């Protein structure tokens, strides 16, 4: 079945029409509905939710469903910072870069994330 857009930025409901939903939850944070979708492939349901706030770390995809441990959260912050650096400086190769210690929040570090990184130049 072809992919379809997700319609609600603050709620996810999944079920079969005419029956109660088997998933009726809030995402961890706001979802960008224009970039999010669902599809059925090889008999499995796949849901792709795009974060509305770039650089935000989610403890879980859905509220109340697990929590990241501190190590995992730091690893995600490091990855987000490297993605941010790569986006803001496309001419540089950050593939071998690493952080020695805790990574700052990619969302707020040095003025935070900008909609258009090229506008900073």
Q: Same domain for 5 and 39?
A: yes
Which pLDDT belongs to residue 2?
Answer: 44
pLDDT of the chain, 121 residues: tens digit per residue: 444 667 888 999 888 889 998 889 999 999 999 989 889 999 999 999 988 887 788 888 899 887 888 888 888 888 888 888 888 888 888 878 877 777 777 776 766 665 554 444 4
Q: Same domain for 18 and 57?
A: yes
Note down the domain range covering 52: 1-67
Put residue 39 in one of left, alpha, beta given phi > 0 → left and psi -120 to 50 → alpha. beta
Question: Is residue 16, in this structure, part of any structural domain at all?
Answer: yes
Question: Is residue 119, in this structure, part of any structural domain at all?
Answer: no
DSSP string spanning 41-82?
Answer: ETTEEEEE--BSSTTPPPSSSBTTS----HHHHHHHHHHHHH
Q: Can you give the length of the chain in residues?
A: 121
Q: Closest Cα partner for 49 from 66, 34, 63, 64? A: 34
Which pLDDT belongs to residue 121?
Answer: 46
Which pLDDT belongs to residue 27?
Answer: 92
* pTM strictly above 0.75: no
Which pLDDT belongs to residue 5?
Answer: 63
Q: Same domain for 62 and 105?
A: no
Q: Same domain for 61 and 92?
A: no
Q: Same domain for 58 and 80?
A: no
Q: Same domain for 55 and 6?
A: yes
Q: Same domain for 49 and 63?
A: yes
CATH of the domain at 53: 2.60.40.790
Q: Same domain for 91 and 58?
A: no
How many domains does the structure of the chain reveal?
A: 2
Dihedral of CA 67/73/77/78: which sign? negative
Question: Is residue 120, in this structure, part of any structural domain at all?
Answer: no
């Amino acid at each position: 079945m072809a992919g379809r857009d997700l319609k609600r930025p603050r709620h996810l409901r999944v079920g079969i029409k005419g029956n109660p939903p088997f998933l009726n939850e809030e995402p961890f944070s706001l979802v960008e509905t224009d970039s999010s979708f669902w599809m059925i492939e090889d008999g499995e349901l796949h849901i792709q939710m795009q974060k509305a706030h770039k650089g935000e770390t989610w403890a879980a995809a859905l509220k109340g469903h697990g929590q990241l441990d501190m190590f995992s959260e730091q690893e995600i912050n490091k990855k987000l910072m490297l993605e941010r650096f790569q986006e803001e400086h496309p001419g540089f190769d950050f593939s071998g870069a690493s952080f020695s210690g805790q990574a700052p929040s990619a969302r707020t570090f040095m003025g935070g994330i900008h909609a258009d990184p090229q506008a900073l130049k």
